[in-house]
């Protein structure tokens, strides 16, 4: 598969038009599964990993799915291609740049379903949806899991459920996350309070790229911590309730911004667009922060002529591997900052021209 063919697409998670897409970027559910009778990836020999990979790859190839999954051998990818798939959320950093040996990822052309092989667990199934769509994502991943289970024997324990390499995932093996854009709650500093209250009910808040990553561009992932002792449906219901609360808080904070400091916000948004359209060097971090402001500006109707999906496109295309692919050449950090600025200038000029 030629990964470059994905470049013009936004993929499911940045499609930008799912339910509550004024705040919710995407929903993701993942299931951790392991094959019975084999050591987990961290204690498997290269030969055992190769065997696990072959068995799972064979099972994936035989799945009867409406959107077929293409398998990519991660060990054979260039570092840029690995980074590219990480940026598109099709595989984890762990699988891309930490783990070694036989491993891979299969995904469909919508970039909605992906199956990682020989990650921390033998199998990491993942379904993504634009906006908040926990039920739909669950229905799809549950079905995928059922189909795989007819071809593979999972490690399952009557008391502990699905067995995983890390005891924090044992039980359902399910982690459901909703990615939210919370610029107004960040501005008003209410976000810290919100996160403390989430911790109390066992929900975890993470940045854009999951575990350990910081929240850039006011993007936060909220997910469940508990996998043992609660059913999938209960966990999903708890998350859904919390999300609808957070949506209310964020909307209220946004309304307040417009009511009390519209002029200042308008200025902030205009400056963000101005910087993005005229900088000659810009880091990915600064780009994300400015795009967050622009995204908020669009939602608050302070900016009329920019569709929200454009922000998503700028967001993904300005990340390191995407940028290098667009430029057709490997670039070091400095070169990337200059290429990023050039890309943004051109893109915003094009958009401005097409609007007039």
Residues making contact with other proteins (CB under 8 A): 34, 36-40, 42-43, 120, 142, 145-146, 149-150, 153-168, 170-172, 174, 202, 225-232, 234
User: Residue 145: which residues within 8 A CB-CB, separation 6 or more?
Assistant: 31, 33, 125
Q: Are 121 and 41 in contact (CB under 8 A)?
A: yes
Nearer to other proteins, 153 or 346 (CB): 153
User: Least distance (Å) from other proteins to the CB of residue 39?
Assistant: 4
Distance, CA of 289 to CA of 215 (rounded, Å): 10
Query: What string of DSSP letters covers 244-288?
Result: HHHHHHHHHHHHHHHHHHHHHHHHHHHHHHHHHHH-SS--HHHHH
Nearer to other proteins, 219 or 242 (CB): 242
Q: Is 210 annotated as a binding residue?
A: yes
**Which residues are CB-contacts of 352 (< 8 A; sequence separation ≥ 6)?**
277, 305
- Nearest CA to 303 out of 271, 280, 257, 256 is that of 271
Identify which of residues 157 and 193 has a Cβ nearer to other proteins in the complex: 157
φ/ψ (deg, to 5) at 113: -110, 135
Residue 206 is assigned to a ligand binding site: yes
CB atoms within 10 A of CB 312: 21
Which residues, in sequence order, are bridge partners of residue 203?
Answer: 224
Q: Which residues pair with 298 in a beta bridge?
A: none
Largest CA distance in the chain: 65
Nearer to other proteins, 231 or 278 (CB): 231
Q: Does 27 show up as a binding residue in the annotation?
A: yes
Question: What is the nearest approach in angstroms of other proteins to the Cβ of residue 11?
Answer: 27
Min CB(164)–other proteins separation in Å: 8
Is 251 labeled as ligand-binding? no
Cβ distance to other proteins smaller for residue 140 or 265: 140
The three-point CA angle 205-206-212 to 5° equals 135
Is 239 assigned to a binding site?
no
Q: Which is nearer to other proteins, 143 or 271 (CB)?
A: 143
Do the annotations mark residue 71 as ligand-binding?
Answer: no
Query: For other proteins, which is the closer residue by CB, 19 or 229?
Result: 229
C-beta of 109: minimal distance to other proteins in Å? 27
Residue 209 assigned as binding residue: yes
> Which ranges in the chain belong to alpha helices (H)?
46-61, 79-87, 93, 134-149, 183-187, 190-200, 232-278, 284-299, 308-317, 320-327, 333-355
175 carries a ligand binding annotation: yes
Tell the smallest beta-carbon distance from residue 162 to other proteins (Å).
Answer: 8
Residue 123 annotated as binding site: no
CB 155, min distance to other proteins, A: 4
- Write out the H or E segment, with its range, that includes residue 33: strand 24-33
Q: Is 124 within any annotated ligand binding site?
A: yes
Output the smallest distance, CB 119 to other proteins, in A: 12
What is the Cα–Cα distance from 315 to 289, expressed in whole angstroms? 10
| Shortest Å, Cβ 50 to other proteins | 17
Residue 67 or 157 with smaller CB distance to other proteins: 157
What is the spatial distance between Cα 16 and Cα 10, in angstroms, rounded to a whole number? 9
Question: Which residues belong to the annotated binding site for ATP?
Answer: 26-30, 124, 175-179, 206-211
């Amino acid at each position: 598969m030629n990964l470059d063919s994905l470049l013009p697409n936004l993929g499911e998670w940045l499609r930008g038009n799912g339910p509550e897409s004024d705040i919710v970027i995407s929903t993701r559910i993942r299931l951790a599964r392991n094959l019975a009778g084999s050591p987990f990836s961290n204690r498997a020999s290269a030969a055992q990993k190769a065997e696990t990979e072959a068995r799972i790859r064979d099972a994936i190839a035989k799945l009867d799915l409406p959107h077929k999954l293409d398998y990519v051998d991660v060990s054979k990818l260039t570092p840029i291609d690995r980074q590219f798939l990480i940026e598109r959320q099709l595989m984890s950093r762990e699988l891309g740049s930490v783990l070694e040996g036989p491993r891979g990822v299969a995904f469909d052309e919508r970039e909605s379903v992906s199956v990682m092989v020989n990650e921390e667990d033998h199998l990491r199934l993942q379904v993504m949806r634009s906006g908040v769509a926990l039920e739909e994502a669950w229905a799809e991943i549950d079905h995928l899991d059922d189909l795989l289970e007819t071809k593979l024997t999972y490690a399952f324990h009557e008391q502990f459920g699905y067995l995983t390499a890390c005891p924090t995932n044992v039980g359902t093996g399910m982690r459901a996350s909703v990615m939210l854009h919370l610029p107004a709650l960040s501005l008003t500093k209410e976000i810290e309070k919100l996160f403390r209250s989430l911790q109390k009910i066992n929900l975890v808040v993470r940045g854009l790229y999951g575990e350990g990553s910081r929240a850039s561009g006011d993007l936060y992932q909220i997910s469940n911590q508990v996998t043992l002792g609660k059913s999938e449906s209960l966990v999903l219901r708890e998350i859904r309730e919390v999300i609808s609360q957070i949506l209310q808080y964020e909307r209220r904070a946004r309304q307040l911004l417009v009511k009390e400091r519209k002029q200042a916000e308008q200025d902030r948004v205009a400056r963000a667009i101005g910087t993005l359209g005229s900088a000659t060097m810009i880091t990915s971090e600064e780009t994300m922060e400015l795009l967050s402001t622009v995204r908020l500006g669009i939602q608050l109707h302070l900016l009329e002529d920019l569709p929200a999906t454009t922000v998503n496109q700028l967001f993904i295309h300005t990340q390191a591997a995407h940028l290098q692919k667009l430029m057709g050449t490997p670039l070091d950090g400095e070169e990337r900052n200059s290429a990023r600025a050039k890309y943004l200038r051109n893109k915003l000029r094009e958009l401005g021209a097409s609007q007039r």
